[in-house]
Amino acid sequence: MKIVEPWIKVEKFDGVAIMKRIERACRTCYRSEGKVTDDSYKNLIKNCITRGHESVLEHEKISIRAYSDIGVYKDLTRHRFASFSVESTRYCSYDKDKYGNEIKFINPSYIEDEKIYEIWKKTMQEAEKGYMEMKKQGGATDMCRLLLPHSTAAEFTMTANIREWKHILSLRTTNHVHPAIRQILIPLLKLFKEEMPEIFENIEYDEEFNPKYYAKLEIEEF
C-alpha cells in the first residue's frame, strides 16, 4: 500500500480571452457588437451576473484532471452539467505491475489526531490485504473492488462550462464540504478568481481551511 498526496491539473487557459468570447456571444442579445472595446467585457459580464443573465457563461468550458479519493468523485459527479471520465475500479486491477502491485490511498492529512489517523491507516492496510487475497484466489477485478474504501486514490478528468464551474465552486468550497474536496477545489477557485475576477470574485470559500492541506495545482496542456 502507498499513501499518496492529491493533486489537481488545470488545462492551460487564458481568462481574458474566455471572458472576451463570452462578451462576443452575449452582445448578440443587444446587437451591440460595435461597443466592444479592450475592456468592455468587464462591465458587461458583471452586469449579466448581477441580473442573473448567466446563460452567457455557458459558451466557454474548462477541463481539469485531479488525483483524489473515490469519495471526492462520488460527490462531484452529482453535478449534472459537468462531464466526467473516471478511473475505473472495474477495469484497473491494482495487483498488476502497472499499478505497482499495490493500492494507493489518498493521505487524509487533515486528520490531525494521531490515534484516529493510525486507525485509518491500519484499516487501509486490511482493505489492501483482502483485495490482494481475493485476487490471488482468482477474484475478478469487478468483485475485488467491493473492498475498496472511499480513500482509494483515483484519477478523473472533469469538464464544465463556466456557469457550472461558478455553481460548483460556490457549493463545494465551503466548510460544509468534505475536506478532501476543499483540498482540490479551493486552489482551483483561487486560480479562477485571479484569472477571471469579473466572474468569480464574489464566490466565498472556507478561508479558515489551512492552506497546508491544499492539493498541488499545476497548469498543463491537455
Ligand X SMILES: Cc1cc2nc3c(=O)[nH]c(=O)nc-3n(C[C@H](O)[C@H](O)[C@H](O)COP(=O)(O)OP(=O)(O)OC[C@H]3O[C@@H](n4cnc5c(N)ncnc54)[C@H](O)[C@@H]3O)c2cc1C
The residue (of 103 and 158) whose beta carbon lies closer to ligand X is 158
Alpha-carbon distance of 185 to 53, in angstroms, equals 25
Q: Is 122 in the site for ligand X (CB under 6 A)?
A: no
Nearer of residues 64 and 124 to ligand X, judged by Cβ? 64
Number of residue whose CB is nearest ligand X: 80
- In residues, how long is the chain? 222
Which of 104, 166, 167, 182 lies at the binding interface for ligand X (CB under 6 A)?
Answer: 167
Residue 192 Cβ vs ligand X, minimum distance, rounded to whole Å: 16
Whose Cβ is closer to ligand X: residue 83's or residue 93's? 83
Counting contacts by CB under 6 A, is residue 166 touching ligand X? no
Is residue 61 a contact residue for ligand X (CB under 6 A)?
no
Does 176 bind ligand X (CB under 6 A)? Our answer is yes
Residue 177 contacts ligand X per CB under 6 A: yes
Count of residues in contact with ligand X, rule CB under 6 A: 9
Handedness of CA 184, 6, 109, 71 (dihedral sign): positive
Q: Which stretch binds ligand X (CB under 6 A): 1-9, 54-62, 112-120, 169-177?
A: 169-177
| Residue ranges that bind ligand X, judged by CB under 6 A | 78-81, 167, 171-172, 176-177
